[in-house]
Amino acid sequence: MKVGDDMKTIARFIDGSGLLLTKKALRSGIKKDNFYRFVADNHFKKVAQGVYLAPEAWEDSAFILHQRCPQAVFSHDEALFYYDLIDREPMEQTITIYSGYNTQKLKASRIKVFTVKKELLNIGRTEYKNSFGHMIPIYDLERTICDLVRNRSNFEIQDFHTALKNYTRHPDKDFNKLMTYAPLFRVEKLIRQFMEMLL
Cα–Cα distance list, 132 to 17, 25, 61, 141 (Å)? 6, 20, 10, 22
Give the model's pLDDT for residue 182: 97
Weakest-pLDDT range from 54-58, 79-83, 114-118? 54-58
Q: Give pLDDT tens digits for 39-74.
A: 999 999 999 888 999 999 898 999 999 988 999 999
Q: Are 163 and 80 in contact (CB under 8 A)?
A: yes
What was the pLDDT predicted at 1?
41
Q: Which of 13-17, 71-75, 91-95, 166-170 has the lowest mean pLDDT?
A: 13-17
Domain ranges in the chain with CATH number 1.10.10:
3-59
Q: What pTM does this model have? A: 0.85
Grade residue 6 by pLDDT with cuts at 50, 70 and 90.
low
What mean pLDDT is predicted for residues 180-187?
97
Residue 131: the pLDDT is: 85
136-152, pLDDT tens digit by residue? 999 999 999 999 999 99
Q: What percent of the chain has pLDDT over 70?
A: 97
Q: Which CATH architecture best describes the domain 3-59?
A: Orthogonal Bundle (1.10)
Query: 60-64 long-range contacts, Cβ below 8 Å, gap at least 24?
Result: 60/17, 60/19, 60/130, 60/132, 60/134, 61/93, 62/93, 62/130, 62/134, 62/136, 63/17, 63/19, 63/130, 63/132, 63/134, 63/136, 64/19
